[in-house]
Structure 1
Amino acid sequence: MYGGDGGAQQDDLYTGYDNQENDFAPSIEDELQTQSMGSFSKPAPPSTARLGTGMNPGTAARGGDDGPRPLTSVRAAGYSSQVRGKLNPLQAVTGQVAFTSVLKKPEQTFEQQCRTDEREVHRALEESASLSAKGDNSMALERAKEAAKLERALSKKREEHSSGDQINLDLTFSVCLNLGQEYHNNKLYSDALNVYTSLAKNKQFSQSGTVRLKMGNTYFEQGKFPNAIKMYRMSLDQIPTTSKFMKFKILRNIGLSFIRMGQYQDAVQALDSVVENIPDPVAAFNLLVCMHALGDSERMQTAFLKLLGIKAKSEVEEVEEVEEGEEDGGSIEIALAEDGLKREFRKRRNELQRYILTSARLIAPKVVPGREIEGYDWVVSHLTSHGFMELASQMDMAKALEFLSQKDFKSAVSCLKGFEKKQEDLKASAATNLSFLYFLESDVKNAEKYGKMATEVDRYNALALVNSGNCSFVKEDYEEARRMYAEAVNVEADCLEALYNLALANKSLGNLQCAHDAFRKVNSMIPESTDVMFQIGDILYVMGRHEEAVKWFEALNTAVPNDPGVLNMLGSLHCTLGDEAKALHFYLESHRIYPASMNVISWIGAFYAKSEMYEKAVPYFELATNIKPLEVKWKLMVASCYRRIGAFPLALRKYKEIHKETPDNVECLRYLVHLCNELGSREEVLGYARKLKKLENEKGGGKGGQRQGSPQQDSIAAAHHLGQRGGMQPPMMQRPVSRGGGGDPYAAGGLERPRSSVSAGRSGRNTPSKLAQEEDDWGNDELGDDLLPM
């Protein structure tokens, strides 16, 4: 097709000029037609081919007046109507572009400029709302400020041109309300209230009820509940009666404010009115909470039934969709699978079920006063009758846990076994709880059985894997236990039980660094756990990092200042580091809290004996004698202390009591012989000497034979400087048993023992130095280290 329109359209596309508003459009079309026709003709001489003369260049070139060529003559040149929208390069050669570029767009009128500015305000306002919906409150506030700035500039411009009556008040109100809301979202409550107050005082705006509602929400979030209630009531009065739903929402906010203030009766009046008129699950739930706080079991039941009577609209919609899907082969169900409205319905249904389940768990122990189990049965029956079968099953599980809290394990097991034939998720939960119950009862076989059942149903059940790992731990299969715990951590990275027990398994296997790292991870998650702090300190102690262990045990002592085991460990650590003053302080504190610890008693008594403060050592050795009366070494230590302080008659009486109780004790006879010889009792010396010689002959005559009445060397563990250490802890998340570890200042002869206090200058009874050395029960090598404290 050929004509001037094609050329005009090409020019419009190039210059951007509106052809409909141009008065010169016909002449331009003529020029374009002339240019187009000439461009496909034989080139004319420059003197005849002129632009804008109205003469056909092809005619002038031929020198005749034959008129235009037929339309078919241009087909051989390759012209097509499909290139009408493109600029012909020959036009640029002829100069047409230069001619059309002179044309300019007419200036916009004032009203058109104002409308453009309004579009900019709308754009900024919409961007602010979009950012706020996405959670980017800071950027939303910036865009809201920009929208307010543009709107003020637009209003000022209209006022300067005496067109203030054309100001869009709805746009002004929307911009200011959005600005206040963004201030509120960014926790700038004072700025938000200033914006809302200016809107509320402006009589030009008729939406003051909405502004008062916003102010009430701001006061509510600030915790100023009386001010919030005042604003809510003002909003309730100003909102028109046609907005029934909004009025009840405001009334619900008033009830929530009264709940926060503790005025439950006033809250009940407001919420009851809401529940009676609209199906609001939030109001119904809070009404039930008020009844629970007031302890009114009858009204509690009524509020719960009202909550059950609220049917989510999603249920009806989904039923209709399923029916239609069955008729049409499921096509509608597939088409609506990702429908936004359906997602909203599902969200509301889940919210309603969450409120119902929370309410059921809250009121079940109280709905029937004094009979908790009957309360659970009442709740389950009504849930079943209202069609909430899944929630009823969950309440059955809660009923089993109630049996556990009452220590009724038999009923709990019976209740949990009823889930074996129900749906898979409940079956897995029941099996997990049964495994835990049997584990607590030390029935490892059944615990392992139900733990395996739970993992078979759901392999990604972290708690079931922990229970199976506990069974392996108890059977001392630490490698299998470690594997199960590691798998549980892979399934649920924040499972505290799995992490804690994994650290214990690594500790049992000797992987101290791995155990330390796992305990540090648990400590980062629950830094207040004293169990974890103890385990970290204990592992550092075993690894030989005593300075770090001291820091952890000091922090633990701050958390639990009256734990004798922690004080005992601090005493042992300071003793290892060579600070006996601090060690004595912590041992004395541990003894003050728990006086029956033999490790602490022995260390303190030995410390005073080493320091030659025998008077202070005597009470501790006597206490050890009372705690362990069958161990003769403590009685010998008491008698030795008396002898060293010069109380010879009292020491002799103690030795005689020991000999009477254990007549075959060689050490006691030796002390009796030496002491009687010192005191000049010749007859007693001869009698005890004969008994001593007889006992030595019976034992082979050796001085260093097995001593009767003394404890075994392996039970004392004198070679270890800090005493015996405790075993591994059980694999459950419980407080570790406080360890009782005391240091041995005389371990393996590491410290010098005091010398004899018997005076060598007693008249007429002086013996050779050899005899004095034999009398020294603290330094005599024949007595050995087993008579000294651990």
Structure 2
Amino acid sequence: MRHVHLATEEDEEDIYSGYNDYNPTFDTEDLDNDTAFQQAVKTSHGRRPPITAKVPGTAAVRPLGTGFGPRVNLSSSMGRPMTGAVQDGAARPMTAVRAAGYTKAGFRGSSFDPLGQSRGPAPPLETKSEDTPEEKIRQLEKKVNELIEESCIANSNGDQKQALEKAKEAGRKERVLVRQREQILSPENINLDLTYSVLLNLATQYSANEMYAEALNTYQVIVKNKMFSHAGRLKVNMANIYLKQRNYSKAIKFYRMALDQIPGAHKEMRIKIMQNIGVTFVKTGQYADAINSFEHIMSESPNLKAGFNLILCYFALGDQDKMKKAFQKLIAAPLGIDDEDKYISPGDDPHTNLLIEAIKNDSLHQMERERKALAEKYIMTAAKLIAPVIETSFDIGYDWCVEAVKTSQYVELANDLEINKAITFLKQKNFTQAVETLKMFEKKDSRVKSAAATNLSFLYLLEKDYTQADVYADLAVTSDRYNPSALTNKGNSLFLNGDYERAAEYYKEALRNDSSCTESLYNLGLTYKKLNRLENALDCFHKLHAILRNSAQVVSQIADLYEMLDDPNQAIEWLLQLRNIVPTDSHALAKLGELYDTQGDKSEAFHYYCESYRYFPSNIEVIEWLGAYYIDKKFCEKAVKYFERAALIQPTQVKWQLMLASCHRRSGGYRTKALVPCFIL
């Protein structure tokens, strides 16, 4: 045995001493000469029990020895090559050390390789076969879901035909899926949710394509299947289809059946169904039943639509007191939006101001504005409807509506109702009452004062009192400088007084405040036309044509401007467009004939002059041209009827009698007398 060399004080200067020494206990090279170890090996101490290995097709072999015993060449006895270490000529050791990858030769020099990567790459993991029935079912189910999704996307994009095709294909594949599941799995494993989704989507697409019979049949399949627990709610969809088909009795029946299927916890859904029932009763003229539905809604969950429909029902029955009560319920219905104070900046905090600016035009605020505008529309329409019948006169009834609105959350709407009252007077040609009503707003706030003054200016323009029109136009502009209607009326007043330059400035200011003010843009084009700035006028009317595509007045102005700019080809093109808009306009047809005549195209000119004469046979210029055309073509007898008509229209004009006499003479009718009027000198 070797002894360890202990370092002494004399060896302190040698700092590397002892590093080459090691404990002989770990030396395995001299184990063959170690008497104690060999004695332990020969005895049964530490020896594993023998293992008998039997290979199929061979006889039993002798027990395998341990790693330290004599080696057995199993490759020769079994008759086949071995893997791993056996192929190297040595039997595979059965000890834990050799099995973990340690060898006597590679313990110090080789790296640790427990996975055996040095012997080549590991075999790939076993992949799941896609040919199994369960995997096929899973893939088919995935395909059905994809088809339903594609159908819904096509429907949202407006491609109803493609959506229906996808829905039908999903139905076919789903039926195949059900058959495969029944063959492989038990019937309890059928995916009912997928079947429900396929049928519901198919019925929806049928309805969207107006294939109502097919949609109803598909809904019936769902409703009659007791395995779908909540399918009874789909009777609402069936009732909607019956309503579209004007089968009102069945629609009411299915609405009520659906109402029985929906529990009381779903209050909003029940209210909507009851509203549909009320609308259906209105369509059938059963106003008493409709009133019961709408009254129930207004007592449980009041809303604007139900309140407005209730007023219509009472108006149909002529019940004045109930109309007043229904109007009060309408203006008391909750609007469901917050006040506008949250959109006002509270201070100089930049973060708060930035947040307020961000939410001023977001989708939520736009929805709130739309809901408020809808509420104002309902209230204004209801007031105009019931005002003439709830009191002895229209103005008294309107005053009652105004007072009712002033005590509600729609206080700002009272002034609009007053202005609407004046406009109603104007429609009734009661100018005195309209002016008196509008003059009441001279002491109101700036917005209402500007609106009233604008209407007063317009009234005086209609009455051709340009002085008063100008006064109220100034008042309207002073009250609200950003009111485009007020600026337009001021420009109109200046235009009628001949001050075209200042009128153009007001029109342009109105357009800066509201670029969609078509009145200002049209009047600006007319002003440039008066100032002989034809290119600017043409630009205005082209912009207006982009906004109002089918405006005959705009197209006529463009054609006239091209004629003034000596471009007859463009003028003809725009007049042809005008003919498509108003094919019976005799003036446009006569203008086309005139332009073709100047171009030397007599045949086209004759065609359009004849068309003009057919729609308006009293245009002297057209009659004269047609008579002269037939004289030039030597058809004097055809020219006679035109000059006879001209003589009837202008009996004091001598030339028509002379033209008649000339036509008769040229055609050989010397005995025919032309009636020539006599003048006493």
Q: TM-score, normalised by structure 2?
A: 0.65
1:349 shift after superposition: 4.0
Count of equivalent residues: 553
For 1:502, which of 523, 544, 558 is the aligned residue?
558
**Residues 590 and 240 of structure 1: is their aligned pair in 2 closer, same or farther, counting only changes over 3 Å?**
farther
Q: Does 1:100 align with 2:124?
A: yes
For 1:347, which of 367, 388, 401 is the aligned residue?
367
Deviations 1:402-431 (A, max 9, x none): 565427399342587464355565x11233
**Are the aligned partners of 1:322 and 1:333 in contact in 2 as well (CA < 8 Å)?**
no
Q: Does 1:429 align with 2:485?
A: yes
**Residues 282 and 158 of structure 1: is their aligned pair in 2 closer, same or farther, counting only changes over 3 Å?**
same
**Residues 199 and 69 of structure 1: is their aligned pair in 2 closer, same or farther, counting only changes over 3 Å?**
closer
**Alpha-carbon distance in structure 1 between the residues aligned to 2:261 and 2:349:** 50
Aligned twin of 2:105? 63
Deviations 1:540-588 (A, max 9, x none): 4454434334444555566x46666697378347537735455444555
**Alpha-carbon distance in structure 2 between the residues aligned to 1:279 and 1:325:** 38
Aligned twin of 1:464? 520
**Residues 603 and 501 of structure 1: is their aligned pair in 2 closer, same or farther, counting only changes over 3 Å?**
same
Deviations 1:199-227 (A, max 9, x none): 33334334454332212222333444444
**Alpha-carbon distance in structure 1 between the residues aligned to 2:283 and 2:617:** 39
Q: How does 1:107-506 map to 2 (within 5 A)?
A: 114=137, 116-161=139-184, 163-260=186-283, 267-290=290-313, 302-315=325-338, 329-330=351-352, 333=355, 337=359, 343-344=363-364, 346-347=366-367, 349-354=369-374, 356-357=376-377, 360=380, 363-364=383-384, 367-368=387-388, 386=408, 401-402=423-424, 405=427, 406=429, 408=431, 411=435, 412-414=455-457, 417=473, 419-421=476-478, 427-433=483-489, 435-436=491-492, 442-445=496-499, 452-459=505-512, 460=515, 461-473=517-529, 481-482=537-538, 484-486=540-542, 488-489=544-545, 497-506=553-562
Which letter does structure 2 place at the counterpart of 1:63?
Answer: A
**Are the aligned partners of 1:321 and 1:333 in contact in 2 as well (CA < 8 Å)?**
no
**Alpha-carbon distance in structure 2 between the residues aligned to 1:497 and 1:144:** 49
1:277 shift after superposition: 3.1
Counterpart of 1:100 in 2: which secondary structure? coil
**Are the aligned partners of 2:639 and 2:663 in contact in 1 as well (CA < 8 Å)?**
no
**Are the aligned partners of 2:457 and 2:489 in contact in 1 as well (CA < 8 Å)?**
no
Deviations 1:246-290 (A, max 9, x none): 222223223333444566565444444434433433333444455
**Are the aligned partners of 1:313 and 1:345 in contact in 2 as well (CA < 8 Å)?**
no
Which letter does structure 2 place at the counterpart of 1:145?
Answer: K
Aligned twin of 2:603? 547
**Are the aligned partners of 1:468 and 1:484 in contact in 2 as well (CA < 8 Å)?**
yes
**Alpha-carbon distance in structure 2 between the residues aligned to 1:325 and 1:181:** 52
1:180 shift after superposition: 1.0
1:309 shift after superposition: 3.0
**Are the aligned partners of 1:466 and 1:488 in contact in 2 as well (CA < 8 Å)?**
yes
Which letter does structure 2 place at the counterpart of 1:147?
Answer: A
**Are the aligned partners of 1:312 and 1:348 in contact in 2 as well (CA < 8 Å)?**
no
**Alpha-carbon distance in structure 2 between the residues aligned to 1:239 and 1:597:** 85
For 1:515, which of 557, 562, 571 is the aligned residue?
571
Q: Does 1:575 align with 2:613?
A: no
**Are the aligned partners of 1:463 and 1:488 in contact in 2 as well (CA < 8 Å)?**
no
**Alpha-carbon distance in structure 1 between the residues aligned to 2:328 and 2:457:** 29
Cα RMSD (Å) of the superposition?
5.0
Deviations 1:97-137 (A, max 9, x none): 5x326x33267976666555444433332332233233332
**Are the aligned partners of 2:164 and 2:202 in contact in 1 as well (CA < 8 Å)?**
yes
Which letter does structure 2 place at the counterpart of 1:163?
Answer: S
**Are the aligned partners of 1:312 and 1:349 in contact in 2 as well (CA < 8 Å)?**
no
**Alpha-carbon distance in structure 1 between the residues aligned to 2:558 and 2:646:** 31
**Residues 153 and 263 of structure 1: is their aligned pair in 2 closer, same or farther, counting only changes over 3 Å?**
same
**Alpha-carbon distance in structure 1 between the residues aligned to 2:285 and 2:610:** 43
Q: How does 1:4-23 map to 2 (within 5 A)?
A: none
**Alpha-carbon distance in structure 1 between the residues aligned to 2:544 and 2:260:** 58
1:178 shift after superposition: 1.4
**Are the aligned partners of 2:658 and 2:674 in contact in 1 as well (CA < 8 Å)?**
no
**Alpha-carbon distance in structure 2 between the residues aligned to 1:253 and 1:381:** 32
Counterpart of 1:314 in 2: which secondary structure? coil
**Alpha-carbon distance in structure 2 between the residues aligned to 1:223 and 1:374:** 40
Deviations 1:129-156 (A, max 9, x none): 2332333323322332233223222222
**Residues 479 and 254 of structure 1: is their aligned pair in 2 closer, same or farther, counting only changes over 3 Å?**
same
1:176 shift after superposition: 1.0
1:466 shift after superposition: 1.5
**Residues 59 and 231 of structure 1: is their aligned pair in 2 closer, same or farther, counting only changes over 3 Å?**
closer
**Alpha-carbon distance in structure 1 between the residues aligned to 2:587 and 2:93:** 100
**Residues 503 and 611 of structure 1: is their aligned pair in 2 closer, same or farther, counting only changes over 3 Å?**
same
Which letter does structure 2 place at the counterpart of 1:192?
Answer: A
Deviations 1:351-379 (A, max 9, x none): 44135326525743762468666777666
**Are the aligned partners of 1:376 and 1:399 in contact in 2 as well (CA < 8 Å)?**
yes
Counterpart of 1:135 in 2: which secondary structure? coil
1:401 shift after superposition: 5.0
Deviations 1:420-443 (A, max 9, x none): 355565x1123324655786xx54
1:301 shift after superposition: 5.2
**Are the aligned partners of 2:303 and 2:334 in contact in 1 as well (CA < 8 Å)?**
no
**Are the aligned partners of 1:537 and 1:548 in contact in 2 as well (CA < 8 Å)?**
yes
Deviations 1:691-717 (A, max 9, x none): xxxxxxxxxxxxxxxxxxxxxxxxxxx
Which letter does structure 1 place at the counterpart of 2:105?
Answer: G
Segments of 5+ residues of structure 2 without an aligned counterpart are 1-84, 436-454, 459-471
**Alpha-carbon distance in structure 1 between the residues aligned to 2:280 and 2:652:** 57
**Are the aligned partners of 1:213 and 1:235 in contact in 2 as well (CA < 8 Å)?**
yes
Which letter does structure 2 place at the counterpart of 1:96?
Answer: P
**Alpha-carbon distance in structure 2 between the residues aligned to 1:577 and 1:296:** 74
**Alpha-carbon distance in structure 2 between the residues aligned to 1:569 and 1:51:** 126
**Residues 312 and 171 of structure 1: is their aligned pair in 2 closer, same or farther, counting only changes over 3 Å?**
farther
**Residues 606 and 112 of structure 1: is their aligned pair in 2 closer, same or farther, counting only changes over 3 Å?**
same
**Are the aligned partners of 1:574 and 1:582 in contact in 2 as well (CA < 8 Å)?**
no
**Residues 64 and 436 of structure 1: is their aligned pair in 2 closer, same or farther, counting only changes over 3 Å?**
closer
| Higher relative contact order structure (alpha carbons within 8 Å, sequence separation ≥ 6) | 1
**Alpha-carbon distance in structure 2 between the residues aligned to 1:52 and 1:263:** 100
Counterpart of 2:265 in 1: which secondary structure? coil
Deviations 1:83-105 (A, max 9, x none): xxxxx9x96x95425x326x332
Which letter does structure 2 place at the counterpart of 1:168?
Answer: N
